[in-house]
Amino acid sequence: MDMDCDDTLATSGETKTRVGFLQTSPAIGALEKNIRQIEDLLEGQRAELWVLPEFALTGYDFVDVAEARQYAEEAPGGKSTSWLQSLAEKHNATFVMGLPEIFSGRLFNTAVAVGPKGFIGRYRKLHLFDREKELFEPGDEWLQVFDVGGVKIGMMICFDWIFPETARTLALRGAQIICHSANLVLSYCQKAMFARSVENGVFTVTANRIGTETHAGRSLVFTGGSQILTPQGETLAQAGTDTVEAHVVEINPEAALQKNVTPTNHLFHDRRTAFYGLE
């Protein structure tokens, strides 16, 4: 299912698009502090598409459902999406960011895309990680691709990386750029995104966070290493493991339309789905 939105990221032919990520260190519950960190990182930067981490404004490891509800909000309609729209207007850019969403009393781990003209779309995380299963419901909506000014973007969140079906579905639906908002704690996640890029012939932008979050007797260490990869798996930008950073690169999104590995091998047409025993 495609959703059309006339927004930023316009491209034609060899026109370049500037895409970037923010690698932040959010403190749990410190929304204003986390907002200031993001706004400071964006000063002097220019891109048409920005990807921010999972739960970039709230922190991650909530004690229980009650605390998760305290920070959850509607998407669209909540304070975070309203703030994100003001940011999009100021920078004339599309922003993708993760947040805890509440909908009809149910909690979801959600990523939103917001542009200067308003809310573009959302994605509710399908594959919950560890304690997330105690706090949130798994996503209940189809994976979607959003047409943003002629460039098709898809969203996935953190642990979705280990399920190749997520990125494959987005690519089959036409995504040229997969926006991957994350709070990665396992040491090998970033390496796996090489495969997600190459096997689907897409650009991937992983925005991870850094720091150690100690809350209610638990401690999580986030691995940083945010990155932008090409459809051939080349690293265009990569952040360190323990530093707050912003990176921007220029890409040609139309490179993700080319799915031939050789003149006679096509990533999608050569699939032998009748023999996979899954359909």
User: Which residues participate in catalysis according to the annotation?
Assistant: 54, 125, 158
The residue whose two tokens read 């991957």 is 180
Question: DSSP assignment, residue 144?
Answer: -
C-alpha torsion 103→154→223→130, nearest 10: 40
| Residue closest to 201 by CA, chosen among 170, 236, 158, 155 | 170
Pairing mode of beta strands 2-5, 145-148: parallel
Dist CA 273 CA 172 (whole Å): 13
Could you tell me which residues come within 8 angstroms of residue 260 by beta carbon, excluding any fewer than 6 positions away?
Answer: 266, 267
AA identity, residue 173? R
Cα→Cα distances 210→10, 122, 157, Å: 32, 24, 16
User: Could you tell me if 74 and 124 are in contact, meaning their C-beta atoms sit under 8 angstroms apart?
Assistant: no
Burial (0-12, 13-18, 19+ Cβ within 10 Å), 34 = buried
Question: DSSP assignment, residue 53?
Answer: -
Dist CA 186 CA 190 (whole Å): 9
Dist CA 3 CA 101 (whole Å): 20
